[in-house]
Amino acid sequence: MLYLYIMTHTTTTYRLLLLFWMLLLPAGFLRSQDGDDVLGRMIHLSKEKNTVYRLLDKVSDQTGLLFIYDSKLIDNEKTVRIPDGDYTIRQAIYRITGDEQLNLRVIGNHILISPPQNKIQVAIPDTIPGEETNVHFVVKGILLDRQTNDPIEAGTVGVLNTSIGSITNANGEFRLTLPDSLRTSTLYFSHLGYEPREVAASLLTEQNSTIALEAKVIPIQEVVVRIVNPLRLLRDMQENIRKNYPQSPAYLTTFYREGIERKSQFVGLTEAVFKVYKSGYKQNPSPDQVKLLKMRRIISQREKDTLIARMKSGIGASLHLDLIKEMPDFLLANENIEEYTYASTDITVIDNRLANVVYFEQKENVRSPLYRGELYIDSENNALLRARFEINPKYIKQTVGMLVEKKSRNLKITPQRVTYTVTYKPYNGQYYINHVRGDLYFKIKKRKQLFGTFPLHTWFEMVTCKVDTDQVSRFTRNEALPTRTVFAETEFTYDEKFWGNFNVIPPEERLNDAIGKISSKIEETEE
């Protein structure tokens, strides 16, 4: 559960940092071993005034080449005017960037743009301690929609053919700290509805990279052929659980965080690394367990002046949201179901696999608060890939007893919106829980105060970074963290070295703002 500190004082908002980009556009099929030969090829550019990003996109469209560079070197948003004419690829790049001293190197279907040989580039400070920089490297950047240039939230970033990975944050940002043995590996980037991308890790090392994904277009014929009865899809999903999900236990190394936001200002953030004992997906499975490895916390120094409420969410919810293991009513569909209606009218792509989309909502004659949302089921193997659902807004106010466990007498708490997202990813032919996210929105009213109403947003999420299946056993009672723990009060020792070498979800810009603007600290206590 998540412990909420509702502040009685307001803090001001201002920006702390700027994000640095570099461009990485989708690649085509051009290949060459001779860089000069590729850069000397002719292309035609029409007269146009646009940003560096969009003009390089024009070059990419004609050549199939993918650009890699650090945005500290080139300003993506700079507006450039290009005359109509024929250019070599090299001339086009120099004309667009405005710098003929840049070093251009062709690597497969990539063009790496780097500073001039005699120019010293200032490196972005890294969080990895100096003594370990020889055994780790960092891949970081932002994931974008190629067409709109919008950031892609909750996109998958991982190392191909391994369980190592993370997801992008609300701004599309990602960061992976990887062992040196994976420098020659391939990274993959994917998201619902997009063509996945694969890029050599060596091309993205120690830079702020921008990866652009292309939306997947599915022919209408494919949609018509593959859409089937939604209840049949749900039955097939249940019948294939033993085939699709592991029957033996596993260890999941996960990154977890929970936050509190009042009036769009963050007042608390707790992050942790867990080792999760995940029991097999059998009938009547043993309970999952959580072992705390490391954690850190940022809170307001004005905590002592707060009112307190306790919400049902957090660690326990992250485990209970494993829908395949603790199957909710809306997944137990049958012909005689009384609570929900279902429809299957769409098909999409997830990680290059077609998925049927099942929409569900409670029936009109059902008056109690239930759920509505979408389920994404693999069209070939019937595995549940993703679920997004929310408490029916029509009855949301009736759920205060479900969501609020304890509150001050001086507070009236009214739920406004509650949404959950759950995704599964395959590893060695079996699907494991990958990402869980819960967002709970409330309206808080201080009794006997005319202007004492304010919005409150609490959230929690957990993402799987690694899967281990060897020598898995349950934790001892002393090792296991009680899932009902008020995590915001848990004592810990802050380990800077550890946090510098772990794959975390980069904080959204607002979180970075909060870290810098509110009077805050990282609490360090004895374990």
Q: From residue 135, give the alpha-carbon distance in Å to each of 13, 177, 181, 208, 272.
A: 39, 10, 8, 20, 23
Task: Identify the pLDDT of residue 483.
Answer: 78
Q: What count of Cα atoms within 13 Å lies in the side-chain half-sphere of residue 160?
A: 15
Rg (the chain; Cα; Å): 25
Burial status of residue 117 (CB atoms within 10 A of its CB: 0-12, 13-18, 19 or more): exposed
pTM above 0.85, yes or no: no
pLDDT digits (tens, 9 = 90+) for 51-82: 887 888 889 888 888 777 666 678 777 889 99
- Distance, in Å, from the CA atom of 183 to the CA atom of 185, rounded to the nearest integer, reads 6
Task: Identify the pLDDT of residue 224.
Answer: 53
- Distance, in Å, from the CA atom of 75 to the CA atom of 16, rounded to the nearest integer, reads 20
Average pLDDT score over the chain:
78
CATH number listed for the domain at residues 35-114: 3.55.50.30
- Distance, in Å, from the CA atom of 323 to the CA atom of 344, rounded to the nearest integer, reads 20
Could you say which residues of the chain have pLDDT below 70? 1-35, 69-72, 108, 117-134, 218-227, 300-313, 335-336, 345, 404-408, 450-451, 488, 501, 512-527
Burial status of residue 214 (CB atoms within 10 A of its CB: 0-12, 13-18, 19 or more): middle
Question: Which are the contacts of 60, defined by CB distance < 8 A and separation ≥ 6?
Answer: 25, 26, 27, 28, 66, 67
Residue 418's nearest CA partner among 460, 446, 464, 367 is 460
**Residue 527 corresponds to which tokens in the numbers above?**
């374990």
Residue ranges per domain, the chain?
Answer: 2-16+223-522, 35-114
Task: Identify the pLDDT of residue 504.
Answer: 76
**Residue 99 corresponds to which tokens in the numbers above?**
């710098």
